[in-house]
Amino acid sequence: MDTVFRDVRLVDGTGGPSRRADVGLADGRVAVIAYEGESRPTGRRVVDAHGLALAPGFIDMHAHSDLALLRDPGHEAKAAQGVTLEVLGQDGLSYAPVDDGTLARIRTQITGWNGDGHDIDFTWRSVGGYLDRLDEGFGGEGIAVNAAYLVPQGTVRMLAVGWEDRPATDDETARMRQLVAEGLEQGAVGLSSGLTYTPGMYASDAELAELCRVVAAHGGYYCPHHRSYGAGALQAYAEMVALARGTGCALHLAHATLNFGVNAGRAPELLALLDAALADGVDISLDTYPYTPGCTTLVALLPSRAAEGGPDALLARLRDDAAAEEIRRVMEEEGADGCHGVPVDWDTVEISGVADPAHSPLVGRTVARAARERGEEPWALVRRLLIADRLGPTILQHVGHEDNVRTIMRHRVHTGGSDGILQGDKPHPRAYGTFPHYLGQYARDLGVLSLEECVAHLTSRPAARLRLPDRGLVREGFRADLVLFDPDTVAAGSTFEAPRTLPTGIPYVLIDGRFVMKDGRRTDVLAGRSVRRAPAG
């Protein structure tokens, strides 16, 4: 063996009982598993792992590391958590497929997620080109962790239709179908949408169905950030389930939660909807993060019609007094679609990051508090900040419910996704803490899930959704993407006060049998590559 882990508590990802074992690795794969009483393997490197659990590497089903993986070779935010695979291209907005004009607009629109990209050489325009760029990584060596990609429906609509709020023509729909098919053929695992983000939200259900049929034909899955997580949340979930029923497309519900006061205690209603569909044979899964606050861009809260025409058109409306007043009225009195149909409560909106450091004194304050400190109305502050920071601010939105979080994470189709935005001075701690927080807080301390169940939620279930034949389990012949952690001490170090603190209790992480983390420290190994869609059938 290349490496042998001696006397581990093997939590193999199936959800079944853990067992004591020795695990030997050779040529980047699990070569032998020897349980107590069986002949023990020997190896060139033997690690005494007594007291440690050995599990498959964790799969982050909802990540926003699209540029971070090309910017930071260490990528400790995820590597230190035991994440060995991230799924990118989320919420319908990412950097492939694009043309020059679309790329420029995308970079502005999602600066709050990924930075403006001034430090990235955008050598690609296609999905395949982006995946190739990930494989090249740093000096041809690769990237920190593996990455899969979803074709972003909003970006596709931008390419084929533009930024107008109108139905697509037949020719435009055909063009979108072609772009989605090309992305899947080049290795994407499915299609994402951001149906509270422009311009993807302008698509009708019929338009989405046309694209989902393409995804189904290629064996991928549809991953929507659906039309509301607030006032219309249950209707929005039902809309996505109906879409899956009608098209035969597998459905994976992104950051599946129920937020705002109107949804307190309503998680059982969501799960009843999903159980009925599952009983009928609809292929559904979901992901969540184990926290109550959400995180997005400040501009995302605005009414969608304000953004028609793209970022420059939105900035022009913000500079116009009459247009800006109408935006305020809709947000504060009616409830904008960008704020999920709920009138915005500026006391719940915390500024977590800005593009221009000149505005950093606002970070860590709610909009309401910052406005009081400056003697102005909240909307006046927001308007001024969006213009000055060119739509760059990110926010935390404190609108979740702990009972909903716990109820949903128990469901049999649940998987883990950080939704981790790495930008900003004070990012959401989920970016650095989701997976150890599941293991430490929700499995060990609260007992919401058993350790074995929790590991299955983070490993084999997402691997099954991604149709990965040799990942997600510790099994002989499978890839040696592994994490060793101490079940008694594993915990998220990240907090809302210190969000970039690394976790504790995760000394070893391996990708393809190579140590990405060793003795709790990041190595210089770049073992990550693109993980491309397996052919249908």
**What is the full DSSP assignment across 245-292?**
HHHT-EEEETT----SGGGTT-HHHHHHHHHHHHHTT--EEEEE-S-S
CB-count exposure of residue 532 (10 Å: 0-12, 13-18, 19+): middle
What is d(CA 9, CA 22) in angstroms, rounded to the nearest whole number? 9
Q: Residues, the chain, total?
A: 537
Nearest to 484 by CA among 79, 76, 83, 52: 52
531, 109 contact by CB (below 8 A): no
Q: In this structure, what is the dihedral angle of CA atoms 232, 235, 239, 245, given to the nearest 10 degrees?
A: 160
Q: Which long-range contacts (CB under 8 A, 24 or more apart) does 369-373 make?
A: 371/346
CB-count exposure of residue 498 (10 Å: 0-12, 13-18, 19+): exposed
What is d(CA 176, CA 157) in angstroms, rounded to the nearest whole number? 7
pLDDT of residue 222: 98
Beta sheet of 394-397, edge-to-edge order: 294-297, 394-397, 349-353
Number of C-beta neighbours around residue 371 at 10 A: 19
**Segments of the chain with pLDDT less than 70:** 535-537
pLDDT of residue 536: 62
What is d(CA 363, CA 165) in angstroms, rounded to the nearest whole number? 33
Q: Using alpha carbons only, what angle is made at residue 484 by residues 56 and 509, rounded to the nearest 5 degrees? A: 75
pLDDT of residue 118: 95
Distances in Å between the Cα of 488 and the Cα atoms of 386, 449, 517 are 45, 15, 19
DSSP label at residue 440: I
18, 452 contact by CB (below 8 A): yes
Q: What is the mean pLDDT of the chain?
A: 96
Q: What is the CA radius of gyration of the chain?
A: 22
pTM: 0.95
Q: Is 196 helix (H, G, I), strand (E, B) or coil?
A: coil
Two tokens at 266?
């309503």
Residues 6+ apart with CB under 8 A from 498: none
What is d(CA 250, CA 12) in angstroms, rounded to the nearest whole number? 26
**Bridge partner list, 87:** 148
